[in-house]
Amino acid sequence: MAGIRIIAPEHPFRGIVQLPLSKSESTRALAMHYLSRGAVIPSGLSPSSDVAFLQEITLILSSQTGGMLYAGDGGAVARFALPLAALTPGRWILDGTPRLRERPMAPLAQALAQLGVDVGYDGIPGHLPIRLQGGTLRGGAITLDGSGSSQFASALVLAAPRLPGGLSLELTGRLVSLPYLDLSLDMLRRLGMRAEREGARVSIAPQPYPAGRLNISPDWSAAAFPYALVALRPGSSLDLPGLSTDSLQGDRLTAALFEPLGVKTLRTSEGIRLEHHRIPTNHPLDADLGGTPDLLPALAVTAALRGQAMHFRGIAHLRDKESDRISAVQALLQQCGCASKAGPDWLEVTGQGLPAQAGPLDPQNDHRLAMAFSLMALASPITLKDPSCTGKSWPQWWEVLRGLGFRIFTE
């Protein structure tokens, strides 16, 4: 596993950071492009590997009458692909990496079965590989456990307009990542389609996908890392073109969550500008990330390096991401000499200690851990394993750091 050595500059960060286009919007737009038989056209797509895997799956579904579909390590890819395959005549098998095989798929597979699809497993029940008979998905009223991921509901919501009878969906359990479900509904509404949510109930009538263009905006999940850079280096100011605080993406809450960590968010004619500011107190902070779990790694590293006590809650579903993200973040913080505590659905950075010289940091093939812990170089030079995993969401991340003055060497 190749590694890199990262040495941070001493100066404040100034300049422009071009964020990648939103991975969340891109995957949804690709699904809608397929469901509309090409009538819905994205304005652009994220350069992420997840989007590339989903694009390949839609090409196979469009050109074959059955076969193997491969989702890589993308949970969203697999979950959006299942209803697409269920709508497409043919015998399909969906598989992914060993880590993706560990991630739960049962709620969505069970929902598809309730809606008439013949679903089976070629391994552990509730997990990939999943085989199904496509062309059999119908509409109806079902319940769906919303406590593990909002992607199960989003996948069904996007397919719902194509279903005879539409879809009436009642979500159960503690609902997580609801802003992502709302993003799916809002993208349908952008095209003039009817899509309703009242609390835990979602209703979508059968209706044709109209022709239309979907603008894909910069990624607020990725923006968390420039926010962290500005928070951690006094005097810094970075411009993020195209980013808007009016975005439909739930991770726009990045702006509010980083303000008590020392970042002001200013609107400009081109997007937003981040400016470092001093905060008058250092009292403990509390953040409920139930709706925005992807922000945990960047926030945790920022709090640790600032010596800021911060409690993160509502994050149990992070244990089923590319890594067990709660345990992995805690282990990497400990390796860097930063004190933390964790429980089943929470993580607390105690604000004690600064990172000492650490051995190679292993992000466990998790793109958000790699980007977050690369910022530990702001305290002392570090070595990071497997830097290529950032390609899952931001392939240009290392070039961004070099452009800001970081020195990065292959080891």
Q: Which residues pair with 299 in a beta bridge?
A: none
pLDDT class of 274 with cuts at 50, 70, 90:
very high
Give the whole-angstrom CA distance, residue 164 versus residue 73. 32
| Cis omega (within 30 of 0) for bond into 129 | yes
**Cα(386)–Cα(263) distance, integer angstroms:** 30
Domain boundaries, the chain: 3-20+218-410, 23-214
**So what's the architecture of 23-214 in CATH?**
Alpha-beta prism (3.65)
Three-class secondary structure of residue 341 per DSSP: strand
State pLDDT tens for residues 147-194. Answer: 888 999 999 999 999 999 899 999 999 888 899 999 999 999 999 999
57-61, 184-188, 337-341, 402-406, range with the lowest pLDDT = 337-341
SS3 state of residue 405 = coil
Q: Check residue 391 and report its DSSP letter.
A: G
* pLDDT tens-place string over residues 331-388: 999 999 999 999 999 999 997 766 666 689 999 999 999 999 999 999 999 999 999 9
Instruction: Considering the candidates 50, 294, 362, 366, report the single residue annotated as catalytic.
Output: 294
Residues present in the chain in total: 411
**122: annotated active-site residue:** no
Name which of 137, 116, 123, 62 is nearest 94 in CA terms: 123
Q: What is the DSSP letter of 21?
A: B
On whether the pTM is more than 0.85, the answer is yes
Instruction: Return the number of other C-beta atoms located less than 10 Å from residue 164's C-beta.
Output: 10
In degrees and rounded to multiples of 5, residue 101 shows phi and psi of -65, -25
The whole-angstrom separation of Cα 333 and Cα 349 is 9
- Which secondary-structure segment (H or E) carries 132? strand 130-134
Residues whose CB is less than 8 angstroms from the CB of residue 161 and which lie 6 or more positions away in sequence, other chains included: 35, 188, 193, 204, 205, 206, 207, 208, 209
Could you tell me which of 55, 107, 49 has the C-alpha nearest to residue 81? 55
SS3 311: strand
Position of tokens 């968390």?
A: 224
The pairing of strands 90-95 and 285-288 is unpaired
H or E stretch at 177: none
The architecture CATH gives domain 3-20+218-410: Alpha-beta prism (3.65)
